Amino acid sequence: MKILDKYILKSFLIPFLGTFFIVLFILVMLILFQQFDKIAGRGLGVGVLLKFFGYTALLMLPMALAIGVLLSSIMALGNLSENYEFAAIKASGISLFRLLRPLLFFMLLLSITNFLFLNYVFPVAAYESKNLVWNIKKKQPSLALVAGSFNNDIPGFSIKFAKKYGKDNNLLKDVIIYDLRDKRYNNKVITAEKGEIKTVPGSKYMTLVLKNGYYYDDIKQNRIPAFLKDPMPFIKSHFDEHQINFDISGLDKIGDKKYDKHYEMMSLSQLKNEVKERKKPLKENLTKNTVRYYKAIKAKELHKDTIKIEKIKDSILNNYDEKNRIKVL
C-alpha cells in the first residue's frame, strides 16, 4: 500500500470511528428513552438489562454505520480540500478516481460486511430483542397498560381506558373491558367510570376494582345475528363496585418466545422460502376463483333460453297462411 493510500484511509477512519460510536450511543439512548416506561420499576436483573442494551445496539448498528460513513466522508474530504491537499494532489497528476480508490475498496469491504451482518446477525438480534421486550412487559402488566388504546397483554381480555393517574399510577378513568375468553363470540363487555389496579408482589393475580359501571352480557342463541334484522337480546346490569381478578401466573417468565414470523427476523433464504409458501395459497385461490367464474359464465350459456315467442297479431286470420285462412272461412 502506498503512502497516499494510507494517508487517505487514515484521514477517513479516524473521524469514521468517532462519529460511528457517537451516533450509535445517541440512537441507543433514544431507544432507551422510548422504552423506559417498559423497563423501569420491574425488578429486572443486570443480565436482562445488559441483554436489552446489547440487542438494541445491534439493531441500531446499520443505521449508525450509514450515518457514520456520511459524516466521516464529509469531514475527511472537507479537510483535504480545506488544507489545499486536493489541489496539491491534482497538481501532481493524480486523478480523482486514483485518490478515492482506497476509500472505494474500503466501502466495498464495509458493504459486504454490512450485508453479512444484516443477513445473519440482525435477524437474530431482532428476534431476541422483540421477545425480550415482550417478556419484560409481562413482568408487571399493570405498568404495561397504556391509556387511549386497547391493551391485549393480559390473555383473554382487552382493556382500554382514557387516563391513568394517581401516586402509583394505578388509578384508571373511563374503563372498557372486553372478555375474549370465548373465542367464538364477544359476549361480555364491562364499562366503568373509575378503576383501581391492585397487585401484590409475588402473587399470580392482578385485581382490578371497578366503580360505578355497567355489565353487558349477550344471550347466546342458535342463529347468526348477521343475517337477522332483529337485534340480539342481552342483559345489562349496573354495579357500584365490581372486582375482577386477572390470572397473570404465565406472565413472569423472561425466556418465553412469541414473535418469530416478522420479516425483520428472517435471513435472505428464509424470506425467499416465506415468499414461496405465501404464493402457494394465492395461486390456489386464484385457480379456484378462475374455475368458479368460468363455470358461472358457461352455465349461463348452457341454460340460455332459446324459445322464440312471437307476438299475436290483432286479427286471428293474420296468424295463418292463405290456405289455412280459406279452411277457416
* Residues 39 and 166 placed together within one structural domain of the fold: no
**164 phi and psi angles, rounded to 5 deg:** -120, 130
Domain that holds residue 20: 3-141
256 belongs to a structural domain: no
Q: For residue 204, what is the DSSP state?
A: S
In this structure, is residue 230 part of a structural domain?
yes
Last residue of a domain, one of 247, 277, 309: 247
Identify whether residues 163 and 37 lie together within a single domain: no
What's the structural domain count of the chain?
3
- Residue 297 is assigned to a structural domain of this protein: yes
**Residues 144, 257 contacting (CB under 8 angstroms):** no
The three-class DSSP label of residue 250 is: coil
CA of residue 93 relative to chain centroid, distance: 55
Strand partners, 246: 206
CA 252, chain centre distance (Å)? 24
Residue 147, pLDDT score: 82
Same domain, 289 and 196: no
pTM of the predicted structure, to 2 decimals: 0.58
Q: At what angle do helices 46-82 and 96-116 cross, to 10 degrees?
A: 170
Q: Of the residues 120, 141, 162, which one is the last residue of a structural domain?
A: 141
DSSP string, 42-56: S---HHHHHHHHHHH
Burial of 293 (0-12, 13-18, 19+ CB in 10 A): exposed
Is the distance from CB of 218 to CB of 201 less than 8 angstroms?
no
- Helix, strand, or coil here: 128? helix
What pLDDT shows up at residue 185? Answer: 62
What averages of pLDDT result for each successive group of 10 residues across the chain (329 residues)? 83 92 94 76 74 90 93 89 81 82 92 92 86 69 72 81 83 89 75 87 79 84 53 81 80 52 75 80 79 70 60 62 68
Q: Name residue 289's amino acid.
A: N
Residue 255 CA, distance from chain mean position? 22
Q: Please count the CA atoms within 13 angstroms of the CA of 144 that sit on its side-chain side.
A: 21
Same domain for 111 and 9, yes or no, is yes
CB atoms within 10 A of CB 115: 11
Per-residue model confidence (pLDDT) at position 304: 60
Residues 31 and 133 in one domain: yes
Check residue 114 and give its pLDDT.
92
Residue 254 is predicted with a pLDDT of: 46
